[in-house]
Amino acid sequence: MKKLLSMVLAVMMLFSLSAVAMAEDEAGFDEFELGVEGEQEVGFMTMAMVYFQPVDMAPVDQATAKENTDLHIEVDLTANENGYAFPVDQWVPYLTIDFVIRDTEGKEVTSGSMMPMAASDGPHYGNNIKLADGEYSITLYIKSPAENGYLLHVDSETGVDAKDGFWTEPLEATWTGWKFVKQW
């Protein structure tokens, strides 16, 4: 019987101690790509959407608490060549990004806004949201920085190339075939 007990103990100890062993090997978080489109060119930006477990954000009174939410959704974006003088390959600030998530029948499931924020991997727009497992599409409506009071120089000496200013109607981009299965 001692052999049996030793065997059980050995297997279980190996199992429980693996927590520490595995923890030493990895750090950070795992992002899951969203939709079948992958990266998309939207206006002068390259955008990709990812999601992972809900996160804590601060200040707490300005964030959606992770309680009662199912995932954190992010849009990672960088500027391409543009007339607004945003640095190429860098994040673009001052955007307002609204989203609508629809099911496979096109019915709106939820909607909201992505907030500007930073994680350990850099700045992005994101939010915690509540969503059941299922297949969805998500459409982003990207409003111009002008709506958040971002100005452009437009004089001939110091002005940007895009002297007509920012876009006036929201840019749109949709990711489809998003199979959301909570993995945390």
Partner 1 sequence: MLYYLWSVIQDLFYTVTITTLMHAFLGRLYGRTGRREHAVGLWLGVIAGIALAVVKQTTNKIISSHWNHWTYAYLMAFIVAFFMLSLFQGRKEGKKPGAGGICLTVCGAAVSAGMIFFRLPTVLLYPFSFNTMGNGFFSAYYMERLGGWALALLLLFVYSRFLYGCAVHIRKSAAPRRILRAGVLLYAVYCLGRFFVPWISRARWLGWSVKYTEAEYGWIGSFTMWTATNAMIFIWAAAFLAALLALLFLLENTKVTEPYEHAAQLRKLRAGNRKRRRLAIATLVMVLLFVLTLTVVKAYDTREVVLSAPESYTVDGDRILIPTEAVNDGHLHRFEYTTEKNVTIRWIVVKKPNAATYGVGFDACEVCGNAGYYERGSQVVCKRCDVVMNINTIGFKGGCNPIPLAYEVGEGNLVFRLEDLLAGEKEFR
The residues that touch partner 1, with contacts defined as CB under 8 A, are: 1, 3-5, 7-9, 11-13, 15-16, 19-20, 22-24, 26-30, 32, 36, 52-53, 56, 59-69, 98, 110-113, 115, 120, 127-128, 130, 132-135, 143, 147, 177, 179-184
Q: Are 20 and 40 in contact (CB under 8 A)?
A: no
Tokens of 33: 């790509």
Q: Which is nearer to partner 1, 105 or 157 (CB)?
A: 105
Whether omega before 54 lies within 30 degrees of 0, making that bond cis, reads no
Query: Between 46 and 53, whose beta carbon lies closer to partner 1?
Result: 53
> Residue 35, by phi and psi: left (phi above 0), alpha (psi -120 to 50) or beta?
left
130 phi/psi in degrees, rounded to 5: -100, 125
Q: Toward partner 1, which CB reaches closer, 155 or 169?
A: 169
CB nearer partner 1, residue 51 or residue 84: 51
Question: Minimum distance between the CB of residue 31 and partner 1, rounded to whole angstroms?
Answer: 10
Give CA separation, 36 vs 6, 131, 163, in Å: 50, 19, 36
Cα distance between residue 160 and residue 154, in whole Å: 6
In whole angstroms, the minimum distance from the beta carbon of 5 to partner 1 comes to 7
Q: How far is the CB of 155 from partner 1 (least distance, A)?
A: 28
